[in-house]
A and B are shown apart, each in its own frame.
Chain A
């Protein structure tokens, strides 16, 4: 899949109403995360105890938390943590999964069997359980969360890439390439991987939505980014004890997670339509 073609399918996805609205929200969240410092007059970590528990108002649009910090500010900075942690983790997971899956699908033999055993082992366990094992080993924090999310989704990408490679390997044009004397690595990088890319990228897009939830869940458990670094999950964690007093502390960060995840899913759907790979995804 060439760059021009992938760009044109993103554009096509954006043209559909579903893709347009969800894409606009995602751009908004990313811009909000990047320019958080310019967009808001408040700091995310400066406490103002007399101004704690202020309900949403003209000054504090989404209210303040138990330390008097502006909630909208913390949600914008929290987007930095949540989005970067989940997208970096998924990025690493996709890369490792593609390497493992391509190697397994292309080489076959003992390596393939070893990879398959590993994939089957983690596949049957829920991501949260795999993630918690990783957090138990690495310890709470951003690094632990990234590793946990990355490993939790590794099996999915390995499996998908391997299946794609296996399916494409027997196509006529691969046989043709081989018969004119193309080397194994040339076929792998020039033909197999580019053709396996589209479904993996869509799966990565959809997994990013799940990863945002997983990151928020670990943060909610107090195992993600440590204070005072704001993350959507951690904000709700402190808010859950204050449910009676200041429900907005959990409502707005949760809304940020929910709307972003729905947007990611809708955009993924629009991409599937634009790339016309629904049938290929279903085969796996």
Chain B
């Protein structure tokens, strides 16, 4: 098992390098001189020389990438053009907010998705199923930022239950988590339903029925456990979507986080911040996928035995 985890982590290295090359190249692919793009308008020659020396901008591109990567590994992400603060401090400040939002959204969509999936599978093709699956279709097709705005309109503006924006206190977390979570919940519910229906037709379920176990016991103790494996697979694959949703939702709720920082920096052409945010999001996606893969291996005895 440890061997598998190690191999899986090593597999991330080339992916990380490929992504870092693309993100590094952003600065060189955008129109204009990289030095100008790293400086405020109207900076003096001295500042230019300093930046050029720091990033080795007069050296070949490969060397520049090496310097950039070395700085990166040491936690030096450069400093923001607009605020002049080190990017790493900016990131460190907002990262917990994003992680909390993503984590809770994932938890919400898993728990409620599984519950609704079980309900839909139990009453398959009858009204609870049709109603839930109709809602699921709706939930997965609504643009998440619009859903967020509607939730603000209903619960913050009309009812005054939750704050409109910001990241102070638990109340401010409810609507953003709901906005991201509903889309994820739709997906989890759909997968759970299909997996439950599929698992219920297996031979071992027939055997359990023959042994005289109660249908509820079979459904929750055996069929559901079996059905969780594809659910974890999908969650692992889609963990990036939760983070992608976080980008949008942070912007809607003006919630300080990676997404909001990224969108603001994009609008202000603050490239060091853009690069750092994109890199952080990419790393988060990679780690999320890794976690999902390991979890899946731990859960499925067949995968486990294939590994050892």
* A binding-site residues for B, Cβ under 8 Å: 121, 124-129, 132-133, 135-137, 139-140, 209, 213, 216-217, 220-223, 236, 240, 243-244, 247, 250-251, 254, 257-258, 261-262, 265
Q: Are A133 and B262 in contact (CB under 8 A)?
A: no
Q: Are A209 and B150 in contact (CB under 8 A)?
A: no
Q: Are A133 and B149 in contact (CB under 8 A)?
A: no
Q: Are A133 and B146 in contact (CB under 8 A)?
A: no
Q: Are A137 and B29 in contact (CB under 8 A)?
A: yes
Count the A-B residue pairs with Cβ separation under 8 angstroms: how many? 109
Known: A124-B285, A133-B26. A243 touches B141 (CB 8 A): no
- Pull 5 A–B residue pairs with CB atoms less than 8 Å apart, ordered by A: A124-B289, A132-B266, A213-B143, A220-B145, A243-B153
> Which residues on the B side are within 8 Å of A250 (C-beta)?
146, 149, 153
> Which residues on the A side are within 8 Å of B141 (C-beta)?
209, 213, 258, 261-262, 265
Question: Taking the complex as formed, is B152 at the interface, i.e. its CB lies under 8 A from any CB of chain A?
Answer: yes
A130 to nearest B CB, angstroms?
A: 9
> Which residues on the B side are within 8 Å of A217 (C-beta)?
143-145, 248
B226 to nearest A CB, angstroms?
A: 20
Q: Are A133 and B240 in contact (CB under 8 A)?
A: no
Question: Taking the complex as formed, is B34 at the interface, i.e. its CB lies under 8 A from any CB of chain A?
Answer: no
Q: Are A133 and B22 in contact (CB under 8 A)?
A: yes
Size class of B's contact patch? 35 or more
4 nearest CB pairs, A to B: A126-B244, A254-B146, A128-B244, A126-B240
Chain A residue at minimal CB-CB distance from B286: A124
A133 to nearest B CB, angstroms?
A: 6
B205 to nearest A CB, angstroms?
A: 22
Q: Are B285 and A125 in contact (CB under 8 A)?
A: yes
Question: Taking the complex as formed, is B241 at the interface, i.e. its CB lies under 8 A from any CB of chain A?
Answer: yes
Known: A217-B143, A236-B146. A127 touches B23 (CB 8 A): no
Q: How far is the CA of A133 from the CA of B244 in the complex (A)?
A: 12
A interface: dominant SS = helix
Chain B residue at minimal CB-CB distance from A121: B18
Q: How far is the CA of A220 from the CA of B149 in the complex (A)?
A: 11
B113 to nearest A CB, angstroms?
A: 18
Question: Taking the complex as formed, is B274 at the interface, i.e. its CB lies under 8 A from any CB of chain A?
Answer: yes
> Which residues on the A side are within 8 Å of B262 (C-beta)?
132
Q: Are A247 and B153 in contact (CB under 8 A)?
A: yes
Q: How far is the CA of A47 from the CA of B291 in the complex (A)?
A: 53
Pick the contact of A221: B22, B152, B263, B282 (CB < 8 A).
B263
Known: A136-B266, A243-B149, A247-B153. A257 touches B143 (CB 8 A): yes
Question: Taking the complex as formed, is B57 at the interface, i.e. its CB lies under 8 A from any CB of chain A?
Answer: no
Question: Taking the complex as formed, is B281 at the interface, i.e. its CB lies under 8 A from any CB of chain A?
Answer: yes
A117 to nearest B CB, angstroms?
A: 8
- Select the residue from A126, A209, A243, A262 with max chain B CB neighbours within 10 A: A126
Q: How far is the CA of A56 from the CA of B255 in the complex (A)?
A: 31
13 further contact pairs, Cβ within 8 A, besides A136-B26, A220-B145, A247-B157: A124-B237, A124-B289, A126-B243, A133-B22, A136-B271, A137-B29, A140-B266, A209-B141, A221-B267, A243-B152, A243-B157, A247-B153, A258-B146
Q: Are B15 and A121 in contact (CB under 8 A)?
A: yes
Chain A residue at minimal CB-CB distance from B140: A265
Q: Are B138 and A216 in contact (CB under 8 A)?
A: no
Q: Are B278 and A254 in contact (CB under 8 A)?
A: no
Pick the contact of A129: B29, B244, B251, B274 (CB < 8 A).
B244
Pick the contact of B247: A128, A133, A222 (CB < 8 A).
A128
Q: How far is the CA of A140 from the CA of B268 in the complex (A)?
A: 11
A275 to nearest B CB, angstroms?
A: 20
> Which residues on the B side are within 8 Å of A213 (C-beta)?
141, 143
Chain B residue at minimal CB-CB distance from A250: B149
Q: How far is the CA of A139 from the CA of B274 in the complex (A)?
A: 12
Question: Taking the complex as formed, is B90 at the interface, i.e. its CB lies under 8 A from any CB of chain A?
Answer: no
A2 to nearest B CB, angstroms?
A: 32
Q: Are A126 and B23 in contact (CB under 8 A)?
A: no
A284 to nearest B CB, angstroms?
A: 14
Q: How far is the CA of A221 from the CA of B248 in the complex (A)?
A: 8
Q: Are A139 and B30 in contact (CB under 8 A)?
A: yes
> Which residues on the B side are within 8 Å of A139 (C-beta)?
30-31
> Which residues on the A side are within 8 Å of B31 (C-beta)?
139
Known: A121-B19, A136-B26, A223-B267. A262 touches B149 (CB 8 A): no
Q: How far is the CA of A240 from the CA of B30 in the complex (A)?
A: 30
Q: How far is the CA of A36 from the CA of B31 in the complex (A)?
A: 36
> Which residues on the A side are within 8 Å of B152 (C-beta)?
243
Q: Are A257 and B267 in contact (CB under 8 A)?
A: no
Q: How far is the CA of A243 from the CA of B18 in the complex (A)?
A: 42
> Which residues on the A side are within 8 Å of B244 (C-beta)?
126-129
B139 to nearest A CB, angstroms?
A: 11
B137 to nearest A CB, angstroms?
A: 7
Pick the contact of A257: B26, B146, B285 (CB < 8 A).
B146
Chain A residue at minimal CB-CB distance from B244: A126
Contact with A along B237-262 (1 / 0, CB 8 A): 10011011001100110000000001
Q: Are B137 and A262 in contact (CB under 8 A)?
A: yes
B45 to nearest A CB, angstroms?
A: 27
Question: Taking the complex as formed, is B142 at the interface, i.e. its CB lies under 8 A from any CB of chain A?
Answer: yes
Q: How far is the CA of A258 from the CA of B251 in the complex (A)?
A: 19
B239 to nearest A CB, angstroms?
A: 9
